[in-house]
Chain A
Amino acid sequence: METLAVHHTHDSHADTRVPDPHQDTFSKTILGFWMYLMTDCILFATLFATYAVLHNSTFGGPSSRDIFSLSIASIETMILLFSSVTCGLGVLSAVHSKKNQIILWFALTFVLGASFVAIELHEFSHLVLEGNSWNRSAFLSSFFTLVGTHGLHVTVGLFWMIVMIVQVLLSGITVATFRRLVVFSMFWHFLDLVWIFIFTIVYLMGVI
């Protein structure tokens, strides 16, 4: 204890009256999960860079102008944005200790997320059936990798949501379930953030 006390007096400005804001499990978990999100962001950065480098390498196959539908991508954008808000409102209901509202908002987020994945899978199967699969050209490889990785994240989020809805139903709003709801909402908002750039770089710039 004495060494600790000596350690503290090194910094004359350290305010020891209040506990360190980063030493509790909640703050540590949030920071840790934020670091994971940032590394995930770098994963997406490499895929975006790959797409940007290869998007003209169509090898005689279709270009982005021939195969992308801006209306479908816009609907996907709106669905994901709506789900991002419903997810946030779900955590807000947890703050207000309204268990039924949490279930309702997260069920809505799940339905929106599932529709997003369904539309994306429909788009992918349409491309593959027309012979524009990932092995057609470097452009399509990079497209499927980038958009598919995002879709995979959303799919993982869907399973995560089922687990959390069950946890809230069983244990109610506790320190642990609230923390998990917050961590999940960070993940879900992050996926919406990545989608803005997929919408802009892949779809909007693709049809110009």
Chain B
Amino acid sequence: MSHELSLKEIKKEWHGTLKSYVIGFITSILLTAASFYIVIAKVFTGSVLVLTITMLALAQAIFQLRYFLHLGQEAKPRWESVVFYFMIMVLLIIAIGSLWIMHDLNDRVMSDMTNMPMEKHHD
């Protein structure tokens, strides 16, 4: 049943090309430079700035997943993509869940504690 591949066949299984690396490299440099410039030149402020550089980071991540890690180009059924999307779900639950709960706790309890050293100075 199990069919072992030869070196030649394995090389075909790998999806990297010079073109994919050049595309990935140039877009990554441009996106990094863009977020660096936006922060340095203070093009935006506050939450718009945070949102913009988050979007730029996500865009770069997608480009690198596609052109460096060749995600979504594997043979069907695409198990690697399935595992990836499941990981994203767990990641979002951990990240959003932690921030949500800790922010809530901060509002209820921690806000007094973080200001304590300051208050002592005032007293």
Q: Which residues of A contact B (CB under 8 A)?
A: 4, 19-27, 30-31, 34-35, 38-39, 41-42, 45-46, 48-50, 52-53, 56-57, 59-60, 70, 74, 77-78, 81, 84-85, 88-89, 91-92, 94-95, 173-175, 178-179, 182, 185-186, 189-190, 192-193, 196-197, 199-201, 204-205, 207-208
Q: Is A52 in contact with B7, judged by CB distance below 8 angstroms? A: no
Determine the main DSSP class of B at the interface with A.
helix
Q: Is B41 an interface residue (CB 8 A)?
A: no
Q: Is A190 in contact with B69, judged by CB distance below 8 angstroms? A: yes
Contacts of B10 in A (CB 8 A): 26, 175, 178-179
Report B1-28 CB contacts with A as 1/0, cut-off 8 Å: 1111111001101101110110011001
Q: Is B54 in contact with A200, judged by CB distance below 8 angstroms? A: yes
CA distance A189 to B4 in the complex (A): 27
Contacts of A201 in B (CB 8 A): 57
Q: Is B6 in contact with A49, judged by CB distance below 8 angstroms? A: no
A-B contact pairs, 6 of them (CB 8 A): A39-B87, A52-B98, A74-B36, A92-B16, A182-B14, A204-B53
A42-B87, A179-B10 as given contacts; A24 in contact with B3, CB under 8 Å: yes
Q: Is B49 in contact with A85, judged by CB distance below 8 angstroms? A: no
Determine the main DSSP class of A at the interface with B.
helix
B3, B7, B69, B99: the one within 8 Å of A49 (CB): B99
Which 5 residue pairs are nearest across A and B when measured between Cβ atoms?
A21-B75, A49-B98, A19-B3, A38-B87, A200-B57
Contacts of A173 in B (CB 8 A): 7
